[in-house]
């Protein structure tokens, strides 16, 4: 090897913003998050065609599969991809265009 190839296990040194596929819109929307462990209130802090960043109102254990419920917008199946305390990152399961269509004028 010449040292230029990266192994599949190598850390991606790009910033989170550079790794994102979709632009995020900052919002403050009250929502609920359905998990196998319960239904919890949360605030959507930002959202994109691919996912969202949420803040739980209280610390709760979540299952990997969740559903984000936003009154007036609908329910969106997702997967928890990261968590730092009460802040949670989710990735939507549905197609990016379907997510964008559910949030006209909000999601870029």
pTM above the 0.75 mark? yes
What is the token pair recorded at 69?
A: 């419920």
- Report yes or no on 8 lying in a domain: no
Q: What is the pLDDT of residue 14?
A: 40
- Report yes or no on 41 lying in a domain: yes
Q: 53-93 pLDDT, tens per residue?
A: 999 998 889 999 999 999 999 999 999 999 999 999 999 99
- Count the domains in the chain: 1
Name the residue range of residue 52's domain.
21-102
DSSP label at residue 1: -
A 10 A CB-CB count for 44 gives 21
Q: 21-54 pLDDT, tens per residue?
A: 778 989 999 999 999 999 999 999 999 999 999 9
Contact of 37 with 61, CB cutoff 8 Å: yes
């Amino acid at each position: 090897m010449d040292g230029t190839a990266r192994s599949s296990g190598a850390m991606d040194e790009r910033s989170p913003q550079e790794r994102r596929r979709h632009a995020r819109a900052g919002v403050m929307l009250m929502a609920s998050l359905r998990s196998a462990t319960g239904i919890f209130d949360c605030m959507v802090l930002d959202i994109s065609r691919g996912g969202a960043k949420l803040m739980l109102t209280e610390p709760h254990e979540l299952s990997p599969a969740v559903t984000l419920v936003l009154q007036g917008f609908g329910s969106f199946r997702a997967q928890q991809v990261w968590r730092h305390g009460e802040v949670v990152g989710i990735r939507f399961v549905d197609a990016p265009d379907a997510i964008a269509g559910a949030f006209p004028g909000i999601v870029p």
